[in-house]
Structure 1
């Protein structure tokens, strides 16, 4: 079975409300649907969500690199030749979302060919994950109301609170308001997207010491090497590296250098193959991981839950699997549903991604 074609289809779906955080804000999901075709009629599907303010990719750059560089390099290979595929993709620097989508689409083909779910091929630990929800920048009352709505509607009991504003006291007040409104049984953790300085981060952590935070993520830039290490040494909660640790080598650097004590794994950034490498590295070092989210739509979320549910350590904490709830629509024929705070993998062969052709025709941008 040979790879005979790759499609990179740009599409745009508005969000019901803007998602705001320290590194930017998103009003429209301008993503890329990636399809890898084989000569035996099997097609693998994945989603590439560009984040230009974090990784430098845009919707246009993802389409261009897949069509003009990646496709000519891997046509004629088989889906089993993943190492050869990655060797060729890695000749091009960066472009993590584009590479990851190709990787996950190849795994989708392998699952279909084997008649097995991809989650089973990856590890098969469980068929579901607990879900966490992101609470973005807004007035405190709005943040509290959003979290209560999500808890009461979907049974979600873990919330990732975006912080990083100036002054930092605004975010401290928001976290305190969330804790008071949601009670002690809700898990709260914070993500600064590099928005604070190390000194403000330290002040904020001290002022929130009584809130029982589960994690603190990327509060200040990892490029501020000594300041970041100084902050992490005094942190009383595990400190997650996310955008500063996008692959196994960077994970090693951040952990051994003392700039993090936990790692966020995002399938939209490292696919399934790279995410397994990062996960196994963390397991070997005894480091906790969280399944992160790149503001994925439902396609990307299906990929993420397939990976997280496949591995015992990846499913230990609630995964960031609910950002699609803020989108006005999506491309799947059968939408995802979160019930009792959990999301299930799709049954059947591959990833279970079935695209609604009418929705794709409505939202695609290349016709």
Structure 2
């Protein structure tokens, strides 16, 4: 079970429409496919979705750091030496998506080698998750129409609304329109991607106090330390730390410092190994948890399901699992399907999915 090679293959697949939110805009999934080869002929796979406006990673940077720094450090390790692998990758600061993809590809390779599902290796609690769909910036009528379509076509009943625009009233109007149209038939929460100030966030939350929101996520910048603590103390619903708290140490700081009361786990930035640490910490602290999305493709989404389905805490809430629906195509041989508002893990070993070689040739960027 020794690792013999780590590949980093850049690819790009256009979105059907641009995805817009407070921290940036995305027109194509410019991701990196990571493949970990072993001396037994097994190949584990994962996806690295760089987010330069959030973590500073780019597609070129992910490819370069894997090929030049990370691959030489992990080749020769066995699939069981995941802690050694984590330690060696930690010698380099940053690069969360690159590290996470290598980690998840190793877990996939281990599952394939042992003929066991990754979700069983992690915990094996259930085989599915409810799906939450993200609604990006648009006018109220368009977002109501998209919500209607997601309910009718996929049975989704939980929605995260991207907010953070100015004036604040633009986003309040959207959230109110959604609640007025669908009532209690849908669950709603908001994500500001750090777009508002603490005072703007407080004013917006006061105006939405009657809308029954589940959560508020990253409404204002984490480095506004006093403002954020002031805001969280006034918000009557769980306040999710997302990009401000990717590591266990960050979660500890944000929660104990009064800057958050819930946490988002994204396997795209913490893999399976560090995501376990975040999960166990959240469980010990009694925090609400949502499985987040880094605008993953289908491969990244099945990684999220594999982890989220492994534990009672992470499977309790709907996970952000539907962003791949906005992509014009994908790399998997058998596309994922959301049925009755749920996404189910695949029955095969590892992650249970494979890459279509023809599609990889079509979309890869290093030919």
Q: In structure 2, how many angstroms separate the alpha carbons of the residues matched to 1:145 and 1:348?
A: 36
Aligned equivalent of 1:282: 282
What stretches of structure 1 of length at least 5 have no aligned partner? Answer: none
**2:136 — aligned with what?**
136
Shift of 1:74: 1.0
Partner of 1:294: 294
The equivalent residue for 1:196 is 196
Give the match for residue 7 of structure 1.
7
User: 1:61-109, CA deviations, whole angstroms, 9 ceiling, x for partnerless residues?
Assistant: 0000000000111111101101111111000000000000000000001
RMSD: 0.5
Count of aligned positions: 367
Once the two structures are superposed, the pairs formed by residues 254-333 of structure 1 within 5 Å of their partners are 254-333=254-333
In the alignment, what sits opposite 2:82?
A: 82
2:63 is equivalent to residue 56 of structure 1: no
**CA distances 1:203-254 after superposition (whole Å, capped 9, x unpaired):** 0000000000000000000100000000000101100000000100000000
Q: Residue in 1 aligned with 2:178?
A: 178
Match of 1:73 in 2: 73
Q: TM-score, normalised by structure 1?
A: 0.99
TM-score computed with the length of structure 2 as normaliser: 0.99
Supply the distance in 2 between the matched residues of 1:87 and 1:353 (Cα, whole angstroms).
28
Partner Cα separation in structure 2 for residue 115 and residue 298 of structure 1: 22
2 CA distance for matches of 1:232 and 1:147?
28
Quote the residue 1:31 is aligned against.
Answer: 31
SS at match of 2:312: coil
Cross-structure match for 2:354: 354
Question: What are the equivalent positions in structure 2 for 1:99-118 lying under 5 Å apart?
Answer: 99-118=99-118
- Deviation (angstroms), 1:283: 0.3
SS at match of 1:313: helix
Residue 248 of structure 1 is matched in structure 2 by: 248
CA apart distance, 1:114: 1.2
Displacement, 1:185?
2.3
**4+ residue segments displaced more than 4 Å:** none
Q: Per-residue deviation at 1:353?
A: 2.0
The answer on 1:154 being equivalent to 2:154 is yes
* TM-fit CA distance, 1:113: 1.3
Determine the structure 2 residue equivalent to 1:127.
127
> For residue 224 of structure 1, what is the aligned residue in structure 2?
224
Question: Aligned partners of 1:38, 1:114: CA distance in 2, in Å?
Answer: 13
Give per-residue Cα distances to partners, 1:258-296, cap 9 Å, x unaligned.
Answer: 000000000001000000100000000101100000000
* Cα distance in 2, alignment partners of residues 183 and 156 from structure 1: 14
* SS in structure 2 of the partner of residue 145 of structure 1: helix
Tell me the distance in 1 between the aligned counterparts of 2:340 and 2:86: 38
Distance 1:353 1:249 in 2: 33
Structure 1 residue 352, shift from structure 2 partner = 1.1
Q: CA separation in 2, counterparts of 1:272 and 1:84?
A: 14
Q: Distance in 2 between matches of 1:339 and 1:76?
A: 41
